[in-house]
Structure 1
Amino acid sequence: MDLKSLIRDIPDFPKPGILFRDVTTLLRNPQGLRYTIDLLAQKCDEANFQVDYVIGMESRGFIFGTPLAYQLEAGFIPVRKPGKLPGAVHSVEYELEYGTDKLEIHQDALESGSKVLIVDDLIATGGTASATAQLVQNMGCELLGFGFIIELRDLEGRKQLPDVPIISLVEY
């Protein structure tokens, strides 16, 4: 199946000059969604990941991470923007193009030594994925790798990530 044909391009969103890769058209296609999750799971099996937890970042990482965790027989852990989690949290602040942002995870979400896969819909500059990796590593967990549906290669987000396997299904 050609996943690129299921991803819509939206020019000038969220601001002029940006070409947004919209996965909502992939999500609405039952066969495309099933294929995407099955392909991610297959690539995790091929990489011999023995995953305890899949971590997804708000919000599209939740969409792809939860069914992947189900397929891998792993738990799912959400990483959220500040103020969204009700319990005690660990947080990390990271740089954006203009300013900073912050991500949080429950302090009791992971046990030290857990094997973790980080999943999101897209990697661009790598800031969000890198910050999530920092949270995972600060909690004493083993980061097995990353899984992305889309990778924007020209933005070189891989350079921001730890040296672990990176799965991307579609590259632009």
Structure 2
Amino acid sequence: MAVWGEVLVGLAVLVGLFGVVVQVLPGSLLVLAAVALWGVVTGGAVGWTVVAVAVLATAVAGVVKYLLAGRHLKRAGVPSSTLVWGGVAGVVGFFLIPVVGILVGFVGGTYLAEWVRVREPGAAWRATVAAMQATGLTILVELAGALVCAAAWGVGLALA
């Protein structure tokens, strides 16, 4: 691949890593797509090994993040319906309040859904905190998978 192509792949990887943390873009998929494109264009053992590592890292991170978050929420006693209401409120907040609306909507919606369900402010807040912790876990796991993809690409660049 030409140098300008590798620079574009690097920029896409950076944007994807940013998207993983900010949760506005499908960051890990963007990182995977950029690295896979590089691997396919580069070809050979190095290129295809990088593609295999990137696909595997993204898939494992995608599964593990849901397993960890689900286990965390189950231990905290937070039902799925609460998360659905939090997600709906997050989407509404995204359109009503620029920049921070998705966070405000998710937290507010989760708290309100739990408060309606249990009628106790303390329990509703504990469930909201557990939901935010689970969200943080998913971000960390997805970031780890995307960083493994980026590292595989970096090793591939050095070897190609």
TM-score > 0.5, shorter chain as reference: no
Which has more helix, going by share of residues? 2
Name the structure where strand makes up a greater proportion of residues: 1
TM range (shorter): 0.3 to 0.5
Larger Rg: 2
Q: Bigger relative contact order, structure 1 or 2, given CA contacts below 8 A and separation 6+?
A: 2
Normalised TM-score (structure 1): 0.33
Give TM-score, length-normalised by structure 2: 0.35
